């Protein structure tokens, strides 16, 4: 939760608002400086803050509870929709209907909330920037879950024929996969346009790594456009932030995994709510499409509707009852699209007014069923289910009922302590034996009992192969173990952690091999900032060392200079690797690459060897075999395109770019075919004219090439010859067949 303070706001507040704040805290002052000092002192005193909260109206306490539920920052209109959804008593005024600003006005006048004047995100992954509400952290610290007037709906009497449930561990594994994929890419690069969108190549690479497609599903439920959904949620949740010309993670996958499941999902929940670049469904009906930031408001309201379900434990409620109950509370005040205003009462009799009002409400209900009810079903089956907040009941593949999951109740309906604060997820999970380690280094982890720290431990030290609803399969590999040891783990801690979660003793061969891998790692030296000199040959390098040059021989022809070297052997050129790489390559449309030796560095040859075949000194060729082989080793075509973009002196030939994508198998262009054709030539103009006009021949001719030539269908050549012989013009005609 962002730690916000009202101290700066007080200096700019109106005197009348300051007086109202003072009265709320039990004081009575008139001068502005005295009011500011009084409110600041009251905010610093927890007892005064709690006493103030006891005096506020129920809807104000509910609003503060909703704000805290959403991390201390929430859309202003969405907050108003949530307050109406929760069913708490509202101030009495005919002007409150539809006017969210008037509903929130007491909260700002009393100093309980303020409109956020800061940018919500340094980088906004949205087309719209909803106005947000914030509160002082010292107030929210004493706020409990919001008061809820539960919907008056009954549970279904018969269990659904099919039920979908998602464990928190499955949610965590999916999010870890996404974070790991981004971490391996290093960042998501931004376009340098005004919109600052993420580069399409990076989004495609991420989707390919995660095996996402247009028909992506979670447990058999369609989830449209997962890339914009999850990346947008990470940005809105500030787990991805802008740094230079790229988006980078603010938390490592290991740090994320060590949080409790409620903390993980709670952070992502806020991200999905505020993700304006993605929507749950798309319709061809323009009037049914969400507008502006109404999506955010609707998502907040829908979560409030789930909070308003009757507290019947694991009971299922009919989806139709839930949406009807929600409509009855907000249908006249909220819409994802354009909401029709109530009919005018001007010059209308009471009876006419009643008739007009009835028709208006009937139209609202009709529009709601067409738009909000459909969207509600899609929201429940995509991100709300994907985050494990609900269990869904299906009949013939259609969602008919919904139930809050245990995690959903923990996040949306937390139990308060004696002071009214949430105590959800306060106790750490106990460490249990939850996996089996096999002699072939495979690990089978049982997800129903695994704790977040155990999951983080496996993610750090093993390679995940697959995951199902109840189990996940990992494998201890040399690279994964090396990565874990590099993060600060020792071999003894690794073995102790594996044994603590294992249901049986570790296989002896596994212990021996892990210690061997750790020993090999100790023989490797990693230097992050060095000075190297490259020589044309090992002999030339050795001669320099023999002449007294200070340094260590590295590889075949390199000399590593000591950190404290005051002098170094003379070199013809220096390369500063902290600067952008040099534009040292040229390439032909046929894929032939030439390296300018004068601009080469230590990396470029090895980088080209990964993708191309070396044909001569400083020359390579990209082929379908070399590119497809690199892709099979786990490399992405976007890596090659990025390399060429950064190194080519001139742009990559477009036709070669098409070939590279096709060779990599990532994007199939429109297929082109080459067919065998026959050219018919007739040097007699009169005869040629009659041939073109012939009704018998027109079905076999494919297009005129010139004044004396026409294409003939090769499969019909014999028929054409027969007709020409019949007409006696065969002698004036030449026919030439062109193969593929």
Strands of 592-595's sheet, edge to edge?
Answer: 585-587, 592-595, 619-621, 613-616
Continuous segment of H or E residues that includes residue 435: strand 435-437
Looking at the predicted structure, is the pLDDT value of residue 291 above 80?
A: no
Summarised one tens digit per residue, pLDDT across range 195-236 is: 678 888 899 999 988 888 878 999 889 999 999 999 999 999
Residue 342 belongs to some domain of the structure: no
Band of pLDDT at residue 587, cut at 50, 70 and 90 = very high
Q: Are residues 392 and 302 in the same domain?
A: yes
- Return the structure tokens found at 5: 């303070």
| Structure-model confidence comparison of residues 728 and 678, the more confident one | 678
Most confident of 367-371, 379-383, 572-576, 648-652: 379-383
Instruction: Give percent above pLDDT 90 in the chain.
Output: 34
pLDDT for 14 equals: 87
Summarised one tens digit per residue, pLDDT across range 239-252 is: 999 988 899 999 98
pLDDT for 429 equals: 47
Q: Are residues 284 and 366 in the same domain?
A: yes
Quote the mean pLDDT of the chain: 84
Structural domain tally of the chain? 5
> In which domain, by residue range, is 699 found?
677-738
Residue 571 belongs to some domain of the structure: no
Instruction: Give percent above pLDDT 70 in the chain.
Output: 88
Helix (H, G, I), strand (E, B) or coil at 25: coil
- Region 120-126: mean pLDDT is 41
pLDDT for 425 equals: 44
Band of pLDDT at residue 427, cut at 50, 70 and 90 = very low
- Separation of first and last alpha carbons in the chain: 67
Q: Are residues 452 and 486 in the same domain?
A: yes
Write down the residue that tokens 């009876």 correspond to. Answer: 351
pLDDT for 525 equals: 61
Residue 546 belongs to some domain of the structure: no
Domain boundary (479, 497, 522) is at 522
pLDDT for 704 equals: 83
The rounded distance, in Å, linking the Cα atoms of 237 and 244 is 19
Looking at the predicted structure, is the pLDDT value of residue 479 above 90?
A: no
Residue 572 belongs to some domain of the structure: no
Residue 592 belongs to some domain of the structure: yes
Summarised one tens digit per residue, pLDDT across range 305-352 is: 999 999 877 789 999 999 999 999 999 989 988 888 888 888 889 999
| CB within 8 Å of 576: residues ≥ 6 apart | none
Q: Structure pTM?
A: 0.68
- DSSP letters for 242-257: EETTEEEESS-HHHHH
Looking at the predicted structure, is the pLDDT value of residue 565 above 70?
A: no
Q: Are residues 290 and 311 in the same domain?
A: yes
Write down the residue that tokens 């939850």 correspond to. Answer: 434
Q: Are residues 223 and 319 in the same domain?
A: yes
Q: Are residues 129 and 173 in the same domain?
A: no
Q: Are residues 648 and 695 in the same domain?
A: no
Residue 260 belongs to some domain of the structure: yes
Label residue 45 exposed, middle or buried (CB < 10 Å: 0-12, 13-18, 19+): middle
pLDDT for 523 equals: 65
Looking at the predicted structure, is the pLDDT value of residue 121 above 60?
A: no
| Contact predicate 645/587, CB 8 Å | no
Looking at the predicted structure, is the pLDDT value of residue 277 above 90?
A: no
Looking at the predicted structure, is the pLDDT value of residue 94 above 70?
A: no
pLDDT for 418 equals: 46
Looking at the predicted structure, is the pLDDT value of residue 118 above 70?
A: no
Write down the residue that tokens 């008139």 correspond to. Answer: 30
Summarised one tens digit per residue, pLDDT across range 494-544 is: 999 999 999 899 999 999 999 988 887 766 666 656 777 877 777 888 888
Measured at the CA of 125, the angle between CA 120 and CA 129, to 5 degrees, comes to 50
């Amino acid at each position: 939760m962002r730690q916000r303070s009202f101290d700066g706001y007080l200096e700019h507040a109106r005197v009348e608002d300051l007086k109202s704040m003072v009265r709320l805290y039990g004081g009575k002052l008139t001068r502005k400086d005295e009011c500011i000092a009084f409110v600041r002192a009251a905010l610093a005193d927890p007892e005064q803050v709690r006493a103030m909260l006891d005096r506020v109206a129920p809807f104000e306490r509910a609003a503060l509870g909703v704000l805290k539920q959403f991390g201390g920052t929430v859309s202003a209109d969405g907050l108003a929709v949530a307050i109406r959804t929760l069913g708490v008593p509202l101030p009495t005024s005919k002007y409150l209907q539809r006017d969210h600003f008037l509903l929130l006005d007491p909260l700002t006048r009393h100093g309980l909330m303020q409109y956020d004047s800061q940018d919500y995100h340094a980088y906004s992954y949205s087309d719209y920037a909803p106005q947000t509400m914030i509160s002082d952290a010292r107030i929210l610290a004493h706020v409990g879950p919001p008061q809820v007037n539960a919907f008056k709906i009954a549970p279904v009497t018969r269990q659904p024929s099919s039920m979908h449930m998602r464990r928190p561990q499955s949610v965590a594994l999916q999010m870890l996969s996404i974070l790991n994929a981004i971490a391996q890419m290093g960042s998501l690069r931004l376009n340098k346009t005004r919109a600052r969108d993420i580069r399409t190549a990076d989004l495609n690479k991420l989707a390919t790594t995660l095996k996402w497609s247009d028909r992506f599903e979670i447990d058999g439920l369609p989830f449209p456009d997962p890339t914009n959904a999850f990346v947008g949620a990470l940005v809105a949740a500030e787990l991805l932030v802008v740094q230079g010309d790229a988006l980078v993670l603010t938390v490592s996958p290991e740090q994320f995994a060590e949080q409790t499941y409620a903390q993980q999902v709670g952070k992502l929940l806020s991200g999905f709510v505020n993700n304006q670049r993605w929507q749950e469904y798309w319709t061809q009906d323009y009037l049914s499409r969400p507008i502006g930031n109404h999506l955010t408001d609707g998502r907040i309201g829908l979560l409030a509707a789930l909070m308003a379900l009757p507290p019947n434990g694991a009971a299922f409620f009919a989806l139709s009852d839930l949406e009807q109950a929600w409509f009855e509370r907000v249908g006249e005040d909220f819409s994802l699209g354009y909401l029709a205003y109530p009919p005018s009462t001007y010059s209308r009799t009471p009876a006419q007014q009643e008739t007009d009002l009835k028709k208006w409400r009937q139209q609202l209900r009709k529009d709601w069923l067409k738009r909000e009810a459909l969207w509600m079903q899609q929201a429940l089956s995509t991100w709300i289910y994907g985050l494990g907040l609900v269990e869904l009941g299906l009949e013939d593949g259609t969602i008919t009922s919904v139930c809050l999951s245990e995690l959903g109740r923990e996040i949306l309906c937390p139990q308060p302590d004696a002071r009214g604060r949430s105590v959800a997820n306060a106790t750490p999970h106990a460490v249990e034996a939850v996996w089996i380690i096999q002699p072939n280094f495979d690990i089978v982890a049982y997800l129903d009992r695994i704790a977040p720290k155990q999951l983080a431990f496996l993610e750090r030290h093993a390679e995940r192969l697959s995951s199902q609803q109840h189990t996940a399969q990992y494998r201890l590999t040399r690279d994964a173990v090396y990565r874990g040891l590099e993060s600060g783990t020792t071999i003894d801690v690794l073995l102790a952690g594996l044994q603590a979660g294992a249901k049986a003793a570790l296989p002896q061969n596994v212990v021996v091999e892990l210690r061997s891998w750790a020993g090999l790692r100790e023989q490797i030296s990693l230097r992050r900032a060095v000075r190297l000199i490259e020589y044309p040959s090992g002999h030339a390098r050795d001669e320099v060392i023999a002449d007294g040059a200070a340094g260590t021989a590295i590889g075949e022809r390199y000399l590593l200079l000591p950190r404290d070297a005051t002098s170094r052997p003379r070199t013809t050129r220096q390369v500063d690797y902290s600067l952008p790489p040099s534009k040292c390559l040229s390439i032909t449309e046929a894929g032939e690459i030439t390296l300018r030796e004068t601009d080469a560095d230590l990396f470029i040859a090895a980088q080209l060897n990964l993708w191309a075949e070396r044909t001569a000194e400083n020359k390579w060729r990209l082929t379908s075999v070399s590119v497809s082989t690199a892709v099979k080793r786990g490399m992405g075509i976007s890596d090659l395109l990025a390399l060429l973009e950064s190194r080519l002196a001139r742009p990559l030939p477009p036709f070669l770019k098409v070939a590279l994508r096709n060779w990599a198998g990532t994007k199939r262009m429109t297929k082109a075919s080459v067919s065998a054709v026959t050219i018919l030539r007739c040097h007699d103009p009169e005869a040629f004219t009659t041939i073109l006009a012939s009704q018998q021949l027109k079905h076999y001719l494919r297009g005129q090439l010139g004044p004396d030539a026409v294409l003939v269908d090769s499969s019909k050549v014999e028929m054409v010859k027969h007709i020409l012989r019949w007409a006696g013009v065969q002698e004036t005609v030449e026919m030439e067949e062109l193969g593929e």
